[in-house]
Copies of this chain bind each other. A is one copy, B any other.
Amino acid sequence: MTQESAAHPPGPSDPLPDLTAEQLDTLHRIGRRWSRVTRPPQEWRDALPVDPNVGDYPARHQIRLPRYERFVTVSELGGKARADQVSKVTALTSTSTGRVGSRVRRVLLGPALKSTALVRERMRKLVALPVLSSDALSSVAYGPEALLTILVLAGAAGLALSLPIALTIMVMMLAVGLSYRQTIRAYPNGGGSYIVTSDNLGRVPGLVAAGGLMVDYVLTVAVSIAAGVAAVTSAIPSLGGATVPLGLGAIALLLAGNLRGVRQAGILFAAPTYLFVLSVAGVIIAGLVEAARQGFPPPSQPQVDATTGVTLFLIMRAFTSGATAMTGIEAISNAVPAFKPVEWRNARTSLTWMVATLLALFGGIMALVLLTGTLPRPNETVLSQLARNSFGSGLMYVVVQASTAAILLLAANTAYNDFPRVLSLLARDHHAPRPFMRMGDRLAYSNGILLLTIAAALIFVAFDGRTTTLIPLYAVGVFLAFTLSQSGMVVHWWRSRGRHWRKSLAFNALGACMCAVVFVTAAIAKFTAGAWVALVAVALFVLLTLRIRAHYDEVGRALRLRPQSATLPGNTVPTPLCPPKEPPPEPRPAAGTEDTWEEEEAEETPEEIHHLSVVAVETLDLANIRALAYAASLRQPVLAVHLSPTDEEAERMTRYWRHWGNHLPLEVVVCPYRTIIAPLVDYVEALHEQRPDLTITVILPELATSRRWHRLLHDRMAFRLRHSLRERPKIVVTTVPFHV
């Protein structure tokens, strides 16, 4: 995997991988065998009853487009010269099945976008910084509070520890920030944890890192929304009971916005971050000035009862809870290509600014907490208390709370960008179901967005939308990913030994150690409180992705053009493509076991396929006669089968058949068990055993009803039969629809 290809998530137009030389050779040899039996290409084409080139077709069922459509119009394509065999779709149509759904979709999400509409935006530093740092900066809204919530359990003695713990966290922020500066330089195309880890440490560590990231993206959404709702309910306490509905509303908003394909675009996303930074800075400065004016009085001793002593375990818990303020610090290194050139240099500068801002805000808030003796309260956030303390409850306070809620929504939105992107990378590497690689008609990874929404909403509801209960799950995954990613960078520098490699290696090693400490501490200290959920989720994720990969590998092996497959049936005499007159080949011994399927099914040229059509006839009505006519018109051997509940009914059917003219061979199967599927499947299998070389096409009439509920009124014979026969080799099921 080259770094170049590894970095970009799969684009909307990425083709399937090229055929290898060996495969091309095999293809050519298969083709040579076709040419012995088929007509010349031009003759085939002339025999077509239609002109296959339907040109640029503008979709009859096209939905009326909204006024501000954003994609290329039909006329623009008209002038372009096109290859001979190419028709072109000029606008996306709705399929009939989803006509109403499609209309609703267009109204909500806007018209379909062409792949060419995907322009990767380049951002100036002043725009990129706020856009990419919302996740990291917003975490000061809950990090300090999470730290205090644990320490307060040990009363005043516990709170006395908040200063050293906060300083430790700030040192770690600095170290991790420096570490990621190295990643930016090494991965100028974007170095997410999954990419860096699988590049340098191998597949399974990469998946572990990806699992940690995925779990944490889900938790980022849940925690950010929970903290954002807390900012709102702190300001408007009467909303306190509506936490869960408010949060679900916010998640729905994110879902709709992201399905519509909202990007992290410019001013709109930059404004709340700047506003948040400025207003929190205002809170800190106003608070410090006030404290200075009073000559830094010792804080009024907080009235708290210690429910536990100061233990190492408590310190570990407090430390890891506070370390959640570090989440999001990797965002810039993921998104290096989004910067204007020189990308990596701009990204590094931005990272430095971001870490500096983060340190300032975190340190300022902690200082203010200590100076004012603020304590966490169940109904009001610490930040809200500080803001009230600095500004009273006026306009400025409202601005602080509103910008806090806004930046937390943006932080959740960051997860909405990253989760589907990582999932698409996994899908590209065959570790996740292929649909996650597909961009929807709005050029968003719709399936990934949906999955994230469902997971985040479930978690949010299960934990009642309370930040304090979610925090223990959080950060475990992130620090696992950080640790692996930084360790990967150490390996990278050791291997590459480019310029400044020693310095970079040292920084990354320091970062890796720091992150490892936090991860281990968090896993131990918060294990019973919830971290085990995250760890189990990561483990399941790794197992699942490995099994998915194994399946795709198996399918790929089965489907790949192989040299031996082309030579395998080469000893059969080619037969020209005209009605079969030669005696059919001797039946091979019955196979039946699954091991021989692959060989049996190796039918790569028309000459290797010997047909038998079996028409299941229920009665002689128009639908069944059409199915018989369809079968007979294919000019292959046809056998009609009728399942009869009694001998009398069998006799009657035979009589009707003779009356009709006995035009096709009829076999009546008497089955006194009032069931159709099982005996028919067995009958077809019995035929297959007689002649395993035959391809048996089972032809069924099917009523196509116009309304959905009408389908309940008919046996879904075709559906059930197809389902029952799908495991059998060399059996093709065809339904001839009859419209009522």
Contact = CB atoms under 8 A, between A and B. Distances in A.
Given A49-B612, A552-B713, 7 more contacts: A51-B690, A113-B673, A116-B672, A559-B623, A561-B620, A604-B625, A697-B734
Contacts of A659: 24, 27-28, 31
Given A44-B665, A661-B28, A439 B674 contact: yes
Contacts of A608: 629
Contact of A89 (B47, B89, B578, B669): B669
B15 A652 contact: yes
Nearest to A54: B686
A664 interface: yes
A382 B575 CA distance: 88
Contacts of A18: 652
Contact of A629 (B558, B598, B609, B678): B609
A646 B115 CA distance: 8
A654 interface: yes
B630 A661 contact: no
11 contacts: A15-B649, A44-B665, A51-B690, A83-B650, A115-B646, A433-B713, A434-B713, A440-B674, A559-B740, A562-B622, A601-B739
Interface in A567-609: 577-579, 584, 594, 597-598, 601-609
Contacts of A31: 659-661, 663
A630 B584 contact: no
Nearest to A734: B734
A76 interface: no
A493 B659 CA distance: 44
Contacts of A551: 705, 710, 713
Nearest to A598: B739
A738 interface: yes
A532 interface: no
A406 to B, nearest CB: 32
A726 B737 contact: yes
Interface string A75-114: 0000000010111110011111100000000000000111
A50 B603 contact: no
A13 interface: yes
Nearest to A642: B85
Interface string A422-448: 000000000001110011110100000
Contact of A656 (B27, B554, B565): B27
Contacts of A737: 726, 729, 731-732
B584 A49 contact: yes
A292 interface: no
B34 A674 contact: no
A337 B515 CA distance: 84
A524 interface: no
Contacts of A441: 673-675
A551 B646 CA distance: 28
A661 B34 contact: yes
A619 interface: yes
A634 B611 contact: yes
Contacts of A52: 639, 641, 665, 667, 687
Interface in A410-467: 433-435, 438-441, 443
Contacts of A113: 673
A525 interface: no
B663 A44 contact: yes
Contacts of A53: 667
A703 to B, nearest CB: 6
Interface in A618-637: 618-623, 625-626, 629-630, 632-637
A326 B275 CA distance: 78
Task: Find the residue from A560, A611, A645, A691 having the highest chain B CB count within 10 A.
Answer: A645
B558 A673 contact: no
A13 B714 contact: no
B729 A739 contact: yes
Interface string A111-142: 01111100000000000000000000000000
Given A19-B620, A659-B28, A678-B93, A664 B44 contact: yes
